[in-house]
Structures are given as structure tokens and as C-alpha cells.
Structure 1
């Protein structure tokens, strides 16, 4: 790519010819403000916060979509620019619910940050406000249009990245709103609850449905035995809520903080990830040997499952029947653990700490109640756990590391990498390869399925058996892959799909990442690296070698895919309407 020479704020620089003025300015440390802009997702120049002066132009220009050109002269800090940006921000605030102290994004709201940086002291444009809606219909997502700044980020991520398309613009001008078609509630359309709209919203117009009070009530209830479990990806991001660098693994501090909160037992969903590998791996081998439905597709991601139910019901029989790991562990807690400790299942309250908002919907599915009671009673996101720790005044960063409780807290390196795209596939291959060949792998790192490329393919040599596999992350990429399978263009034996871009490490319930940090940091790779490092540090890195997994089969489940295992650990799926749907569908 050739370079062009431009001048920004009296500094002459060379930049790639395909750069925008925003790119060029940030390359030399000039921080032009943005609100609607989100790198590779929403680049539309709609909010007008990134205005700059360009020599020869009649009006101020939006730098996020303005291409550089040879000899261009740009000024980013003139009086006209500052006044225009400030007026734009004041107009946005005039139509905004400004109850900031009670807001879910207080302290990490991009609108609040800009208002502080630009010295907003009053709103001179007070007047009529757009009629607002508070949509509480979903189990996972709350939509509050009184806080919406109509930036379009949620629309872009839902339509272009996830390709679900349940959010859009309605009306024009001052009356413009963002939401589902025909003013429907989120639960009335084919939303998959992935929460990527929450992750990109700069304010709190979209947020998870809070379950913190239910968990506090359970912890205070002397008649409830409250058990908590934590997903693999949570440990790679929770530290960010306490000022630690992105990618810091906080496994030990997380376990310690959960005990301080008062949970009776602290278990690790990684244990159930290992269990999933045994159940899913043997299911795959059974399909391969017995002409079962192929390709088999993973079932760990509830956002992906709901996407398949709405948009690709013809693939429902291809889905693994395995429950997601936290639902498996919930079922075991209310059966195996309950029996061992002489506790009634109805007296156990299971809390899952997840990087995912779709898990909230999943926990409400009627079919996920193996003991007659919900496998999981409450789901908290990583963000919600951080709020509880802060509310309890726990000094997180100075906690001594602690381990999870036995038996359901023991896991392998294969379990922890579930949180990154490609991790389920790699964990499965580590086990399936040794089961098929009867030989110990010389190298258990299947790096061909790692990385953040949208779709990855590999052919794995398992002696006489060659297995074609594929990995996709985001439902948009899953759609692309499934269309190729439908047309016959591609043929696989095993497919991993994660509903969120990057997998669980960048799930809809993880700590917020500002547009500025998204621009400069590779969030997917940085968080995933923490999981791969933990995998490398584990004494045991293959699920089938986990001694506690062997123990639970010997004592309780008998063998992978046994009748008892199917009763507790497997499920079925529902064909759903992909247009207007019923409440709670």
C-alpha cells in the first residue's frame, strides 16, 4: 500500500493511502473524540463528534469516514471544531436520561466520559424529549430508550456481525428510535440474547437483566445451600473490573472472592467442560461409526443454539445433544453432589458466573431441569459478579489465591480453553485422537484450530480415520459456514460454533471495552492468551485424564453416553419462528 503526505495540526506525516483522517490523527497521538464510531463495526459518521477542519472544504468534516488525500491539511482543535463538538454533545444530552448515579454504566459510560472531558456544565437546549420505552420482556436483555443516543452501533453489530437483524431504526429526525420491528419487545422477536448489542452500546440503553438481588437473597436464606460455578472465560476478564491489565488471569482471586461473598461451595465450570468433552467426544465417535447425522455441531453456546433454532432448524439434528457445561454441572450438583452430601435438590441454589447474557435465557429453558428442578437457578455476568464484590467491599486485588472445591472444581487445561474460539474443538481432538488411535499424542496443541480468523478449517489424521473439522465464531460466520454445508460446497465431520465474535472471552456479559480501547487493543487475542497460558501451566491437559472425571463416571455416571448420562447431561432443541415470536420464545 502506497503512502500519502498530509498535515495534521501543523505536523506533516505520511500515512497509508487507505487511512481515514481519524486513523492518521490517532497514529500521532491526537485523540479525536467519537461516539458512533466502532472500528470494523460501525463507521458511518453519524454522531458528528469527530468533526475536523479541512483546508479548502466549505464545512467541517467527519474524520472517521473521511479518506486522506495527498497534500490534505487538517486541523482538529480550532474554535469552530470545539464549539461544534460541544454543541453536538449538548444536543445529545438534552434528549438523554441523565440519572447517571443510578445508571448501570456510571463510571464507564462513553457519553459521560466525553461530557467530563469537554467540560459540559449545563444543557442549554432543554425541551421536548423523544418518547421512551423500557423493555423488560427478555430474560437476558433490558432495553431503555431513554438512554439511547441513536448511534447505531447495536444495529450494526446485530445486522452485520451477528446477522440476526432484530434491531433497526424507526421514524425520522428527532423521532428516530432504535429497537425491534413494530415496537415489539425483545422477547417477541428472534433475538438470540447474545448481548453483543450490550457490549457495543456506549451508554446503558442496552444492559443485561440484573440477577444480583436474587443471589443476595439466596445467600441470606438459611434454608438454601448456595453453590457457585465460574465459566472459563470469566477468569480472563474479571480483573479488568478492578484495574488489572487486560489478559490478567485471576482464577485464584476469583475463587477467594466468591467464598468471601458467602457461597457454600465454589466449583469450576471447567470441570463440566472436561465432562462435555467425554460426552461430546463419544457422541461424535458413535455418529462416525454408526452413520449418524453429520456434521456434528457443538452445543456449548446458547446464543448459537437459539440462532440455529430460529434460522437453521434443518440443522437441529446435527447439534450435539450435550447440554452446555454450566447446565451439566448444575444437573450434577443437584444429583451427584446432593446425594453425596444428603441435601435435597430443592434446597440447593446454583449460581453460574458467565461471560454470556444468553446463559440467562438458557437457564430458563424448561427442558434443562434434570432433577425436576432447574439445573441452574441464577446466572450472573462477569460484570454482575464484579458489582457484588465491590458492593461487599472486598479488596479483590489483595486477596490470596485460593483453589476451587473438590470434586466438581477439578479441571484440566482442555477445560479452560473452552472460553476461546477453537478451544472446544482442540479439547475434543485431544481426547478423540487418543481414544481412536489408542496412542498418546506427541503434541496435544492443535494450533490449526486456534486464532481469531472467522472460519478455520483443518483435516485431522487419526490413523485410519481422517476427520474434517471447522471452527466458526459469531453467528454471522456460522451462517456463512452453514450455507456452504447446505449447498454441498463444504463437507465436515465436526464443527465448533461460538455465538460471539472471539468466543466466550468477548461474550456479551464481559467487562465493557470502550471504542478507544477496541481501536488499539486486540481484545480477543489478549483475553484468549490468558486461557492458553493457564492451559500450558496445568499438570493435566486432556479431559479424559482428569481423575475427578474418572471418579464421577465410576461412582455415578457409569460411562460416557450411558443412559444415566443422557438423562442428566443431554437435552433436545426446539424449532422456533424466525419472524415475530411469542413472549419468552
Structure 2
């Protein structure tokens, strides 16, 4: 498949949308394109099944006689091949990881773009649109690009503001620490965090059903951030920006689809910056970093466990049972770990799974190698003024604005319901 063509079409449509000549650009592309090009335009404009984000597009340039099967087979046998050798998703146990879109250049899979329908809203500025950025974003758009410069870049695109999801990861560290304190009271008890990865959560929900009672009843930081913004600004729209295709699917799940209106990947944002001639490195620095070390390191494998463990130590220093964590690094390890737990091999009391190797920094649409992304995340974490949300005054102020009187109120009450999820 001509992936570069699909991305080039998206770039052209973005540029035309900001220049006010979208319809003419669509006509020109379609007049000079084949059937596959028509579909590229269709999905690049945000069309297609509203509940799906990955689509199959037949491409006449695909050579079915050649072996272009993805390098890594689907762990749950959901990827098969039709009689012509093209990839087909069966949707039986699909965790919607999105890894196969880029694994094979002839896999005839693309992901729907969700940005172009937002451009008119951004240009008219009739409602505030917030960019909420994943903790993995640091360093992705330049080694020395600051969060403040990214904030300026998004404002130039028309966003009202940029919020770090890491601050809401802080809130969920408080909540999951309290949930752990309530759920783990002897050596046999254990929990699975729900603050990691939609692939991890999807595996539990769709395949390892017997473990559902052990998953902590929290939304993801993305959902927490979106809901928090909409509680404070009900008219606002929220756009999540991260390295993950699975987040596009998570945002459409029925019980949490109220939180986020669209999802963009780092790769898409880079294309948008290029199409609009925005260079974040040249932007004004608008500082506003309010997250703790714990919230910032959610982006890498083991970060969630450390953040919640450190938070628990501060919240409940006398608790005799401390967090003993095991991490699954990548989808294969997630499957193996969940299978082992299901078989009774309990070696820890807190389980964290990341569907991509390295964690979110290893997402399929990240711009950096996971190792470098991890270095940036850890370095940014060390610059925080607070180790955990317990001693982060901005988190306490935010909870007050959301109508949550104190930390313990995160476990119950209407105000804290925006952070709850029943599995």
C-alpha cells in the first residue's frame, strides 16, 4: 500500500483547509487519482464508521503474489489473509493496538484521520478547543522544544489552550493508591491497574474475563483530563494528542465517549505542523508545567507502578503491605502475564501492562525511538517541583475546582464520578 500517498493526501487537505480552498483541493486529488485514492480522501476527511478507526483499503498496486505479511503475527490470531493475500481483521479478540498499520507496507490498512473536521471550529473560535497532550510528548518535536513552545504551536493552530495529561495522571495516582489500600489487605490480594494502556485493558475485558474483578475502577488519564476540562468548561471540545492508535478506539467506547472529541497522533501533528509552516522550536515559550514527577513518567514502562507506589507511601506510610509490582512490556508480555495470572501464578500485588515496548514512548505513531523517548520522559520527570501529587499544590487546587473536597473523596461521591469506570 502507498502509505506515503495517504499521508501526503492528509497533508494537502490540512493545508487546503487552513487556506480556505478544501473543496477545490479534493476535486483536484480525486480527478487525478484511482479508486484507492478516493478512499484515502474519504478517510483522511474523517469519514467512515464512527465507531471504527482502522479500515481496509484495496490498492491496485498491492502485489498479491509477493509475501508481504506483517513481520509479527497477531497475538490473538485476529489478523488473517484473504485469497488475494491481503490483510483482514476478524474483530474477534482485537485489542485495536494499531501495530499492523505500519508493520507491513502492503497490509492495506489505514487509520482514520480526525483533524480536518475540527479546522473550521479552530478557525472560527466560537467554542474553546483544548489540546490535551500525553506525557510521552516531551522531546518528540525536537530535543530542546519545551512544553511552553508546544503550547504556543497549538495556539497558532487555533487551539484555546494545551493541558498536560500528566496532571490528571497525578489525580489517578492518588485514586489508584487509595484503591490499592482498600483492595489489598493480605498477601493473596492483587490488583491490575487501569491507568496504563487501552490495549492492556482491552485484553482483560475481551479475553481474560476472570480477571475483571481485580482491575481497578479508574478511567485512563486521557479520559480523566477530558472529563475534567468539560466539567469546568462544558462548552469545550477536547482533542487528545499521543503516540497511540488504540487511543482513537478508546475515545469511542460507549461508557467514556463523553470525554474526548478527537484523537491525533504525534505523526499526524507533525504533518499538521508541516502543512501550516509551524516550527515548535521557533515558538514563544509559554510555561505552565503543573504535574509531578509521577504523572510525567506514566509515559514509560514501570512509570505507573512507581508513581502509584510513591504516592501510596506518602498517603499511607503505615500500611504494612507495600506495592510489589510486575510490569508487562509490550503486547506479547501482556498476553503472557495475563495468562499466567489467570492460571494462578500470582507473584505480585500490582500488575501494570503496556501494549507497546517501552510503554507509550514506544507507540506506533511516536516520532522517536522508545529508548530516546524514555530518556526525555525521565529527564522531564526530574525537573518537576513535586515527586508525587501528594505534595503538588496544583493538583489539590484542581481537585477543589472540580468539587472534590479532599483526596479521600476520590473514592466516592458524584464529584469524583468522572474518574470512575466500572469494568
User: Shift in Å at residue 352 of structure 1?
Assistant: 0.9
The residue aligned with 2:252 is 364
The residue aligned with 2:116 is 213
Quick one: distance in 1 between partners of 2:175 and 2:223?
13
| 1:208–1:509 contact (8 Å) kept in structure 2 | no
SS of the equivalent of 1:497 reads strand
Change in 2 beyond 3 A, CA 1:133/1:382: closer
User: Shift in Å at residue 313 of structure 1?
Assistant: 1.3
User: Shift in Å at residue 100 of structure 1?
Assistant: 3.6
Does 1:284 find its partner at 2:180?
A: yes
SS of the equivalent of 1:551 reads helix
The residue aligned with 1:413 is 293
Does 1:390 find its partner at 2:274?
A: yes
Q: Note the alpha carbon deviations across 1:244-296, whole angstroms, 9 max, x for none.
A: 6xxx6643322221111121122110111111101111111111249996333
| 1:412–1:542 contact (8 Å) kept in structure 2 | yes
The residue aligned with 1:165 is 77
| 2:244–2:364 contact (8 Å) kept in structure 1 | yes
SS of the equivalent of 1:483 reads helix
Quick one: distance in 1 between partners of 2:10 and 2:103?
12
Change in 2 beyond 3 A, CA 1:487/1:270: same
The residue aligned with 1:177 is 86
User: Shift in Å at residue 154 of structure 1?
Assistant: 6.4
**1:7-406 correspondence runs (5 A):** 100=5, 103=8, 136-137=48-49, 139-146=52-59, 148=62, 155-159=70-74, 163-171=75-83, 175-181=84-90, 188-202=91-105, 205-239=108-142, 250-289=146-185, 294-335=190-231, 337-338=232-233, 345=234, 347-368=235-256, 374-404=258-288
Change in 2 beyond 3 A, CA 1:309/1:400: same
Change in 2 beyond 3 A, CA 1:104/1:470: farther
Quick one: distance in 1 between partners of 2:199 and 2:58?
23
SS of the equivalent of 2:398 reads helix
Quick one: distance in 1 between partners of 2:355 and 2:198?
8
| 2:197–2:354 contact (8 Å) kept in structure 1 | yes
Q: What TM-score comes out, normalization by structure 2 length?
A: 0.82
Structure 2 segments unaligned to the other structure (5+ residues): 13-34
Quick one: distance in 2 between partners of 1:466 and 1:492?
10
Change in 2 beyond 3 A, CA 1:148/1:529: farther
| 1:215–1:351 contact (8 Å) kept in structure 2 | no
User: Shift in Å at residue 206 of structure 1?
Assistant: 2.9
The residue aligned with 2:304 is 424
User: Shift in Å at residue 427 of structure 1?
Assistant: 0.8
Quick one: distance in 1 between partners of 2:421 and 2:3?
45
- Equivalent pairs, count: 387
| 1:142–1:206 contact (8 Å) kept in structure 2 | yes
The residue aligned with 1:341 is none
**1:495-510 correspondence runs (5 A):** 495-510=351-366
Quick one: distance in 2 between partners of 1:314 and 1:201?
34
Quick one: distance in 2 between partners of 1:257 and 1:99?
25
SS of the equivalent of 2:386 reads coil
Quick one: distance in 1 between partners of 2:139 and 2:7?
28
Change in 2 beyond 3 A, CA 1:425/1:557: same
Change in 2 beyond 3 A, CA 1:271/1:224: same
The residue aligned with 2:418 is 568
The residue aligned with 2:317 is 437
Structure 1 segments unaligned to the other structure (5+ residues): 1-95, 108-128, 182-187, 339-344, 439-461, 514-522, 574-585
Out of 544, 547, 557, the position equivalent to 2:404 is 557
SS of the equivalent of 1:394 reads coil
Change in 2 beyond 3 A, CA 1:352/1:98: closer
Does 1:487 find its partner at 2:360?
A: no
Change in 2 beyond 3 A, CA 1:266/1:299: closer
SS of the equivalent of 1:227 reads strand
User: Shift in Å at residue 307 of structure 1?
Assistant: 1.9
User: Shift in Å at residue 395 of structure 1?
Assistant: 2.6
| 2:183–2:191 contact (8 Å) kept in structure 1 | no
Q: Which has the higher contact order (CA 8 A, sep 6+)?
A: 2
User: Shift in Å at residue 481 of structure 1?
Assistant: 1.1
Q: CA RMSD in A?
A: 3.1
More helix by share: 2
Query: Which entry has the higher C-alpha Rg, 1 or 2?
Result: 1
SS of the equivalent of 1:540 reads coil
